[in-house]
Amino acid sequence: EAGVTQFPSHSVIEKGQTVTLRCDPISGHDNLYWYRRVMGKEIKFLLHFVKESKQDESGMPNNRFLAERTGGTYSTLKVQPAELEDSGVYFCASSQGAGKAFFGQGTRLTVV
């Protein structure tokens, strides 16, 4: 069975540009989460989808971040315009109900 897949694995963009990260959860997992690790800090929750609905987006840093999950399958996280402090590793995770969450390998975003 395929795990959580994220694309791209790495992205280097200039400040002010737009980047879109994609996450494909494990098939059948209704819950999808985005997390972020900024260098030197702990992994932090960004938001949670149940199917296509945002259940909690309290961790989103600001309105430059937009997450979508149209159709309740894959999700995208767009950063527009990117700032230097957005650099970090963005992890996606999925779970079925209250079960174990499986993480993707992450997208390493570098804003220069």
90 lies in the binding site for other proteins (CB under 8 A)? no
Tokens of 86: 């957005």
Among all chains, which residue has been given the structure tokens 């997390």?
35
8 lies in the binding site for other proteins (CB under 8 A)? no
- Residue 16 Cβ, how far from other proteins at the closest point, in Å? 27
Dihedral angle, C-alpha 58, 60, 62, 68, nearest 10 ° = -110
The stretch near other proteins (CB under 8 A) out of 18-26, 31-39, 63-71, 72-80 is 31-39
Among 1, 28, 39, 41, binds other proteins (CB under 8 A): 41
The span from the CA of 102 to the CA of 48, in Å, is: 14
